Amino acid sequence: MAASAPKSPKVGIVSLGCPKALVDSERIMTKLRSDGYALSGEYEGADLVVVNTCGFLDTARAESLDAIGEALAENGKVVVTGCLGHEADLIRQTHPNVLAITGPHQYEAVLAAVHEHLPTTHDPKIDLVPESGLRLTPRHFAYLKISEGCNNRCSFCIIPSIRGDLASRPINAVLKEAESLVKAGVKELLVISQDTSAYGLDIKYAESKWKDRMVRAKFYDLAKELGDLGVWVRMHYVYPYPHVDDVIGLMAEGKILPYLDIPFQHASPRVLKNMRRPANQDRVLDRIRAWRKICPDLTIRSSFIVGFPGETEEDFETLLDFIEEAEIDRAGVFKYENVAGAPSRDLPDHVEQEVIDERWERFNEVQTELADARARRMLGQTVDVIIDGWDDEVEAFAARTKADAPEIDGILYVATDRDLDPGDIHAVTITGAEGHELTAKL
Ligand code: SF4
């Protein structure tokens, strides 16, 4: 009788925070798997748990601390990494029993900590890792991280102090990863970073060899090359710099999705100045109108902060007018939080919590009306959707239009007797619409 293969030690991964953190988790998983570990998305049966934390807002920090506590209670052996890892003292004070704490992108340090506390013997014959790496997102879509860090210094944000200045990946490395993902079955690439339109600035838009030619590490060139891969390509965290105009043409040609995720954060020039936001906000409305002329299907998603220090009722109304006039299709709104270490803490005229709460409600009311009106306009239209999978509760296939990014935007339910596969793209006719939820038939 053949001896059974030794059981690989199992590592549980808990991933909190934004898609950028998710990509970090996937890199850690890929490396752990190739080092011979088995992986699990839960504590049960795991020999050790890695918690990838988020430290962006105080609520995210509290959530991260809770997750570490839960992992300690359920499992006992916990390695902490990610943005909150930057505040090792806080973690140690709250949870003195964690085995190790590492910061964002310290992949080697996380791996070293796992190896130290849970040794393994690697056998390449049984520990094969697919070329595209291991992913936490479903097989048909994947996040593609093009850079780390950020050169901006928005006053409410501590990311540059945690993650450092912009560090762009060479374009041939990004394209190689994208191509491997597509070969592995990915049908939608979601391009992420802290500031996607600034891609390549730090490496002076360096050219590198891709296939038989040289390609520049620049937003436009990246969009064009990714557009040639034949899958949906969605751009996140883009600032309205003038060179973004060129990419709108690629959207009109159908090379990449007509979708831009632009975190405007506000519209009042005074508040934006206090926020120290990048990109010239002058004439943003004119730019958006010009974009829509070139690409009428363009969907704009954005995020906003209400109650920033010094925000007056007039500033807030400027913001509400902006989302209506600019027809911001999708918007996430956050209440201002006094994040530890953020320069905005020291600004005068902090807005009372009650007023922040009330503005948040009002923003959402306007946003909901806009979303409802938009959804009603979709009724009867035939559009392409990507299938995400069967939804047991609704008893229909969950899908998304080109206007909807996974997890943050709307869902469309397709009722059919046919068997549809995740990642398939079908033309459907919209039969019902309510806010961010649509129903359709094939
Ligand atoms: S652009 Fe501003 S908010 Fe975004 S990561 Fe950079 S500093 Fe933070």
Residue 415: strand pairing partners: 441
Can you give the pLDDT at residue 5?
44
State which H helix or E strand residue 270 sits in.
helix 269-275
Mean pLDDT of 176-201: 93
CA of 56 to the centre of ligand 1 (A): 11
Dihedral angle over CA of 139, 145, 146, 150, nearest 10 = 160
* Per-residue model confidence as pLDDT tens digits over 368-388: 898 888 888 889 999 999 999
Indicate which atom in ligand 1 lies nearest the CA of residue 278. Answer: 1
CA of 152 to the centre of ligand 1 (A): 6
How far apart, in Å, are the Cα atoms of 17 and each of 46, 83, 158, 199, 428?
Answer: 22, 9, 14, 22, 33
Most ligand 1 atoms within 8 A of CB, residue of 20, 83, 154 to mutate = 154
Closest by CA position to 296, among listed 241, 251, 237: 251
Indicate which atom in ligand 1 lies nearest the CA of residue 194. Answer: 5
**Residue 4: pLDDT band by 50, 70, 90 thresholds?**
very low
| 72 Cβ neighbours under 8 A, 6+ residues apart | 78, 95, 97, 98
pLDDT at 182 over 90: yes
| pLDDT above 90 as % of the chain | 56
Can you give the pLDDT at residue 134?
66
Distance CA 234, CA 188 (A): 7
Indicate which atom in ligand 1 lies nearest the CA of residue 276. Answer: 2
The conformation of residue 426, written as its DSSP 8-state character, comes to E
196/8: higher pLDDT: 196
* Helix (H/G/I), strand (E/B), else coil: 430: strand
pLDDT at 1 over 60: no
pLDDT at 124 over 70: no
**Ligand 1, atom 1: closest residue by C-alpha:** 152
| pLDDT above 70 as % of the chain | 93
Residue 335: strand pairing partners: 306
**Ligand 1, atom 5: closest residue by C-alpha:** 194
| 110 Cβ neighbours under 8 A, 6+ residues apart | 28, 50, 79, 81, 102
pLDDT at 45 over 50: yes
Distance CA 308, CA 199 (A): 28
Can you give the pLDDT at residue 347?
94
Distance CA 36, CA 48 (A): 14
Most ligand 1 atoms within 8 A of CB, residue of 147, 150, 168, 273 to mutate = 150
Residue 326: count of CB within 10 angstroms of its CB: 19
Mean pLDDT of 93-103: 89
Among the listed ranges 50-54, 269-273, 358-362, which one has the minimum average pLDDT value? 50-54
CA of 191 to the centre of ligand 1 (A): 16
Mean pLDDT of 430-437: 84
Residues with CB under 6 A from ligand 1: 150, 152-154, 157, 159-160, 194-195, 278
**Residue 162: pLDDT band by 50, 70, 90 thresholds?**
confident
Among the listed ranges 248-262, 311-325, 421-435, which one has the minimum average pLDDT value? 421-435
pLDDT at 122 over 70: no
Residue 425: strand pairing partners: 386
| 379 Cβ neighbours under 8 A, 6+ residues apart | 430, 431, 432, 433
Answer yes or no: are the C-beta atoms of 287 and 243 closer than 8 Å.
Answer: no
Mean pLDDT of 307-318: 97
CA of 276 to the centre of ligand 1 (A): 10
Most ligand 1 atoms within 8 A of CB, residue of 152, 274, 281 to mutate = 152
Indicate which atom in ligand 1 lies nearest the CA of residue 239. Answer: 1
Indicate which atom in ligand 1 lies nearest the CA of residue 195. Answer: 1
Closest by CA position to 168, among listed 141, 194, 135, 132: 194
State which H helix or E strand residue 303 sits in.
strand 299-306
Q: Give the pTM.
A: 0.77
pLDDT at 3 over 70: no
Burial (Cβ within 10 Å: 0-12, 13-18, ≥19) of residue 427:
exposed
Indicate which atom in ligand 1 lies nearest the CA of residue 151. Answer: 6
Distance CA 264, CA 292 (A): 17
Closest by CA position to 154, among listed 392, 348, 339: 339
**Residue 59: pLDDT band by 50, 70, 90 thresholds?**
confident
